[in-house]
Amino acid sequence: MMRLRRWLLTCLWLGAASCAPTENVDLVVRRDSAGVAITESAQPQWTGAQGWIVDSVPLLDLGAAGSGPEHEFYLVRNATRLRDGRIAVANFGTNEVRLYGSDGRYLLSAGRAGEGPGEFERLTSVQTYRGDSLVAFDAWARRITFLDPSGVVARVASLTGLDGSLSELHALSDGGFLLHTHAIEVMAEVEGRVRVPAPLLLLTADGTVRDTLAVVPGFETYVFDQGDAAPPLRHEVHVAVRDMLVYVGDGTSLEYHILGEDGAVRRVARIPGYDLEVSESVRDSMRAAMLQQEMPPFLRPTQEAMANSIPTRRPAYSGLLVDPNGFVWLAEYGASPVFSPEPRTWLVFDPRGAWLGTVDLPPNFDLFEVGEDYVLGRARDELGVETVQLLGLDRL
């Protein structure tokens, strides 16, 4: 426990130090500090008609490509596109991995609700693995299910002897995995608003823990006697993987770090001075909305405490993805789970960390994956009906 605390304090200190503003007014400033490449952007490089464009009309809509329950989606966790154009979807509502052809035709499903091999208790994600194979992750059951290129279950690896809760699994290019966990045991010793440490573990191909890559600040929660609750303007850690590089951002500032497989920071990219201030009027509106909510009497003191301590700064972003070419995408903070007519905006950085500009995605489109010429994600209508869509991406 003490080791986790020391690592967390180190991460927080490094994050605070790296947020110091720069007085350099150049468009992009690059320097090296103790072997770490640092890129700071004063403004986006795209101007005028420059920039990438995502089509608003889908190339493929899996909900509209057929009929029946196989083309109905509920609580889609994520989706991925294989090299031959097939699309795999993690449909948590039925605990199935569904496989569709490049034309949207339903092919097969793997898994169902259950505790046995090839079944899922709470399907968390699906992703490509070593070519056209797939791995499905069940964080609740602590299992990795390997599917061969035809979608048939090949083997199952159980993750045993791990402390804390499991969050996300990322496949590495060497066949191993990066496992994002949460050291929730620290919540037993604190009260109030706290950031839970997030150990990032390296696993072998069979799911055995090989090493701890790093321990970073994880999700933020408000701990009280009866449990915990999500506070307003909650920070979370965002993790992505490309080859053997790990991209990490804690959202306290507009920056991210790239870690090597030894856990050392290789590169830092940031936008110094990016405005994250939350005005008093906005905080007043949030406070009023929180205090008007109906809830059990035992939760009222906690709700009032959270409402009266809303931070003056918001998280910098709410998602992090890396595309096959090494471009980093950060989701602009503020995307709401409710239906909204506003587009979803992502900030894009080149492989060396320079801020290129922003890309707008359609309203109510949750981005899962960026390819060379496409984006893949979940779309929802005003009734909350879900589908999975493939949209064209034009890298002008």
Cα separation, 92 vs 139, whole angstroms: 12
Q: How confident is the prediction for the chain on average, in pLDDT?
A: 91
- What's the farthest any 2 CA atoms get from each other in the chain? 59
Reported in sequence order, the residue ranges of 60-162 that DSSP labels E, i.e. its strands, are 60-61, 76-81, 87-91, 96-100, 106-110, 123-129, 133-138, 143-147, 153-158
User: pTM score > 0.85 for this model?
Assistant: yes
Write the CATH number for 124: 2.120.10.30
C-alpha torsion sign, points 278, 280, 282, 284:
positive
Query: In percent, how much of the chain has pLDDT > 70?
Result: 93
Query: In percent, how much of the chain has pLDDT > 90?
Result: 85
pLDDT in tens, 26-39: 789 999 988 999 99
In a domain, 306, yes or no: no
Per-residue pLDDT band for 14 (boundaries 50, 70, 90) equals very low
pLDDT in tens, 351-363: 999 999 999 999 9
**Ramachandran region, residue 207 (left: φ > 0; alpha: ψ -120 to 50; beta: rest):** left
pLDDT of residue 338: 65
Domain count, the chain: 1
In a domain, 389, yes or no: yes
In a domain, 302, yes or no: no
pLDDT reading at 18 higher than 80: no
pLDDT of residue 340: 82
pLDDT reading at 138 higher than 50: yes
In a domain, 282, yes or no: no
In a domain, 298, yes or no: no
Instruction: State which residues form the domain around 81.
Output: 2-276+313-394
pLDDT in tens, 254-280: 999 999 999 999 999 999 999 999 999
pLDDT of residue 361: 97
pLDDT reading at 234 higher than 80: yes
pLDDT reading at 2 higher than 60: no
pLDDT reading at 206 higher than 80: yes
Cα–Cα nearest to 386, from 72, 157, 165: 72
pLDDT reading at 160 higher than 50: yes
In a domain, 285, yes or no: no
pLDDT of residue 9: 31
In a domain, 289, yes or no: no
Per-residue pLDDT band for 50 (boundaries 50, 70, 90) equals confident
Per-residue pLDDT band for 285 (boundaries 50, 70, 90) equals very high
In a domain, 190, yes or no: yes
